[in-house]
C-alpha cells in the first residue's frame, strides 16, 4: 500500500476505485480497516481514500509527543490529497476522524467539496467542558501506558478489531490529538457552506445532542440517524449506513 512522508513521519494510505476523491478518517484507536464494509459501495463512483493516523495501524509511531496534534493531523490529510493529486475532496470521518474533518475544513475550506461528519462531536465552547474532556483523554493515555493494547478489547467494534504494533502511539495520540485546545472548530460551524451530512447511530447516546447541534448550526446540512446502531454506525448497520451516504453523495454535482 502507498506510504507518504510528511515532516519525517510515514503515513499509510490506500485508494480504491475512481472518480471524485473521498477521504475518510477513522476514529481514535481504530484504523483504516474500520471502513472495509464501505470500500465496495463507496468506490463504485468515487476514489475512496483511507488512511491510518500517526500513532495508529500501519503509520509511524513517532517517539516525540510533540509530533501528535490537531495541526499535524490536518497536515497529514492535506499531504494525502496532494499525494493523490486531489485539489479538492469530500472529507469525512468517524468520531475523532469527523472532528479532524471539521478542523480540516476550518483550515482548508477551499479543498472541501463536502463533509461527512459521523458519530462526532464538534468540541466545546466552555473551558470547563473542554477541560473535563481533556482530563478523560489523559486518563485514556494513562491506561494505554499501563495496560498496553488491552483496553481496546472493551471498546466499540472499530476499536476492538483494530490492529496496532503497540500502544505507545495511541497514548501519545490521546494526549496530543484527542485533547482539544480551543473552541475554533465548534465556532466555525456556521461558516460551513459546503454540503454536509451529519450522521449518528440511534444508540450512540453521548453524541446525539452533538449531532443535533451540528445539524442546526451547519446551514443546509442533512441529518441522518441510523436505527439500532451505536458509535460505529458503519459497522453496526452497514447497509443502512451505506445507503444514507450514497444517497447524500448522489446529490452532489
CATH of the domain at 87: 3.40.50.1820
> What residues make up the domain containing 73?
3-250
Cα dist from 131 to 43, 134, 135, 176, whole Å: 39, 5, 6, 14
The pLDDT tens digits of the residues spanning 135-194 come to 999 999 999 999 999 999 888 889 988 999 999 999 999 999 999 999 999 999 999 999
CB atoms inside a 10 Å sphere around CB 219:
11
Q: How much is the pLDDT for 1?
A: 65
Cα dist from 179 to 28, 100, 147, 148, 218, whole Å: 11, 12, 20, 20, 23
The pLDDT tens digits of the residues spanning 105-145 come to 999 999 999 999 999 999 999 999 999 999 999 999 999 99
Residue 249 has pLDDT above 70, yes or no: yes
How many domains are there within the chain? 1
Amino acid at each position: 500500500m502507498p506510504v507518504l512522508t510528511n515532516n519525517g513521519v510515514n503515513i499509510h494510505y490506500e485508494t480504491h476505485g475512481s472518480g471524485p476523491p473521498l477521504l475518510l478518517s477513522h476514529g481514535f484507536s481504530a484504523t483504516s480497516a474500520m471502513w472495509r464494509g464501505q470500500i465496495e459501495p463507496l468506490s463504485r463512483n468515487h476514489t475512496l481514500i483511507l488512511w491510518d493516523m500517526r500513532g495508529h495501524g500501519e503509520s509511524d509511531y513517532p517517539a516525540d509527543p510533540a509530533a501528535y496534534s490537531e495541526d499535524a493531523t490536518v497536515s497529514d490529510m492535506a499531504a494525502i490529497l496532494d499525494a493523490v493529486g486531489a485539489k479538492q475532496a469530500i472529507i469525512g470521518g468517524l468520531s475523532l476522524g469527523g472532528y479532524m474533518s471539521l478542523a480540516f475544513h476550518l483550515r482548508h475550506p477551499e479543498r472541501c467539496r463536502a463533509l461527512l461528519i459521523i458519530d462526532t462531536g464538534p468540541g466545546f465552547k466552555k473551558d470547563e467542558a473542554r477541560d473535563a474532556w481533556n482530563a478523560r483523554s489523559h486518563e485514556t493515555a494513562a491506561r494505554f501506558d499501563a495496560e498496553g493494547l488491552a483496553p481496546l478489547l472493551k471498546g466499540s467494534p472499530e476499536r476492538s478489531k483494530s490492529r496496532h504494533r503497540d500502544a505507545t502511539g495511541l497514548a501519545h495520540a490521546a494526549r496530543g490529538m484527542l485533547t482539544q485546545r480551543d473552541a475554533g472548530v465548534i465556532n466555525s460551524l456556521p461558516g460551513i457552506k459546503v454540503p454536509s451530512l451529519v450522521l449518528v447511530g440511534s444508540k450512540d447516546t453521548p453524541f446525539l445532542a452533538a449531532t443535533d447541534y451540528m445539524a442546526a448550526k451547519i446551514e443546509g446540512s442533512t441529518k441522518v440517524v441510523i436505527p439500532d446502531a451505536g458509535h460505529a454506525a458503519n459497522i453496526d448497520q452497514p447497509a443502512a449506513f451505506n445507503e444514507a451516504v450514497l444517497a447524500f453523495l448522489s446529490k452532489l454535482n
